[in-house]
A and B are shown apart, each in its own frame.
Chain A
Amino acid sequence: MFEKEIRRKAKELLEAKTVDLVIGYTSGSLPFQARPILVSSPEDVGKLVWNHFARSNLARYLLPYRDSSKKIALLAKGCDARAVAVLLQEEQFPRERIHIIGLPCPGVISRRKLEEKLGEIKEEDFSWEENSFLFQGEKWEVRPFLEDTCARCRYPNPPLYDELIGEEKEPWRDGSVDYLKELDNQSREERWQFFAAELSRCIRCYACRNACPLCYCKECFAESDSPRWVNGVPTLSDNLFFHLGRSMHLAGRCVECGACERACPEEIKIGLLPLKVEEIVRENFSFEAGLSLEEEAPLLTYKESDPGEFIK
């Protein structure tokens, strides 16, 4: 899946010194994983891979270089590129020091779903295509195996890039799988029961936050001592506080990449909250983060006609 082109491009950029570093994915120590990697020498481009297991949002790996002088090439799926766009707009990184290699995203596949549907799985039993795969010779569509966060993706194609490798794709989204909608159809109390059960499993490891390209605060409110909002114990109330607070901080900024949810070691459906916030923002303020560099962030502006019926 375009791996060769990606490596060739990375090599070319490094050799020509167009960039100092390339940030991409490599295969990890466990099957069905692609982990982030930093490539600084043209000899190492062979380590780069591109497949259905690119779970992380690589834009988060840019920020440590903010105050350096390094020029960086970033492999960017649709959502990674959207995150870069928000970072650029928030002046967290200079445009001239980033080279975006856009990759239309084939969707991230959930290992758990593979196991649920196919039983015991080994890497060598698979051969992968963009939209389908062969498992022990049998052909399967990719769609039912997508991570919940990706099944509802509307922007697999990077809206911003310096060059694009691969062909633009149709979004996966066909409405058939949308875990937000499933919850919308429940009663308020049912939703509360659902979230209470999910969030009481949270161990407050902050993997969700640290995986998020837009949670880049030097000191997160959740760990602030003065003022102190929550304590360090993962009780339901403080877990809710953290996730609600975080979702509010992401309002109009979250690029719906779902990296937070895919990072959770406890497999908590934590992307639901920021994704819901984005839906609220989209439906009421007609704004989607990371699609343009010009349009003003929705919570940094207002309209006199904004909804106000909820205020007495």
Chain B
Amino acid sequence: MKNDWEPKIVAFLCHWCSYAGADLAGISRIQYPPNIRVIRVPCSGAVNPLYILKALREGADGVLVSGCHPGDCHYLSGNYFARRKFFVLHQLLQWLGIEENRVQFSWVSASEGQKFSQVVEETVEKVKKLGPAQKLVKEFTFHV
């Protein structure tokens, strides 16, 4: 691994909380690592597990999914449903032998600009420790 390797991390942020939190971090000029590529989604409950797998397939070194805190969902309970779904996915990926921190989850509210920056820092740090993703990345070596 080259020393200057920087992980690419796809972040699915819910529109109402985490995306707004990221926005706040930006407006407040709170620094966070530039490794994340944000995809705004209406709700963490709208994040299909396939999106996560797809991000890894297309070469993301890590995935972050972030939504409103439990009880604060703009759609009342989207994040509760999300929590169950991601819990299963998280456990399954680990059992399969995928590194625990390839896919990470957080709750960040619209007022938590500071927390958002911390979450991103932590996420990047953990993915850096893992090194570049290899396990679910699409292969390009076909017969020619």
Contact = CB atoms under 8 A, between A and B. Distances in A.
The yes or no verdict on A and B being binding partners is yes
Interface of A: 183-184, 188-196, 221, 229-230, 233, 235-238, 240-241, 244-245, 247-248, 251, 273, 276-277, 280-281, 284-285, 298-300, 302, 304, 306-308, 310-312
B88 interface: yes
Given A240-B136, A241-B53, A306-B80, A188 B94 contact: yes
Interface centre among A241, A244, A300 (most CB of B within 10 A): A244
A191 B137 CA distance: 18
Contacts of A238: 57, 138-139
Interface of B: 49-50, 53-54, 57, 70-71, 77, 80-81, 83-98, 104-107, 119, 122, 135-139, 142
B64 to A, nearest CB: 9
A57 B53 CA distance: 29
B95 A310 contact: no
By secondary structure, the A interface counts as helix
Contacts, number: 112
15 contacts: A191-B97, A192-B96, A193-B97, A236-B139, A241-B57, A245-B49, A245-B50, A247-B92, A248-B89, A273-B96, A276-B92, A276-B95, A306-B80, A310-B105, A311-B107
A307 B57 contact: no
A236 B93 CA distance: 15
Given A229-B54, A280-B92, A237 B81 contact: no
A305 B65 CA distance: 20
Nearest to A309: B87
A221 B87 contact: no
Nearest to A308: B83
A191 B92 CA distance: 12
Contact of B139 (A235, A276, A284, A306): A235
A299 B97 contact: no
Nearest to A311: B105
Contacts of A273: 92, 96
Given A188-B97, A238-B138, A312 B104 contact: yes
Given A188-B97, A241-B136, A310-B90, A299 B85 contact: yes
Contacts of B81: 299-300, 302
Contacts of B90: 310
A198 to B, nearest CB: 11
A285 B8 CA distance: 34
Given A188-B97, A308-B70, A312-B105, A248 B88 contact: yes
A195 B96 contact: yes
Given A192-B97, A245-B50, A302 B92 contact: no
A280 B93 CA distance: 12
A312 B107 contact: yes
Contacts of B70: 304, 308
Nearest to A183: B95
Contacts of A308: 70, 83, 87
Given A276-B95, A280-B91, A306 B54 contact: no
Given A245-B50, A302-B80, A312 B139 contact: no
B80 A312 contact: no
Contacts of A237: 57, 136-139
Given A251-B85, A312-B106, A312-B119, 18 more contacts: A183-B95, A194-B97, A195-B96, A229-B57, A237-B139, A240-B135, A244-B53, A245-B50, A245-B53, A248-B85, A284-B87, A299-B85, A306-B84, A307-B83, A307-B87, A311-B83, A312-B104, A312-B107
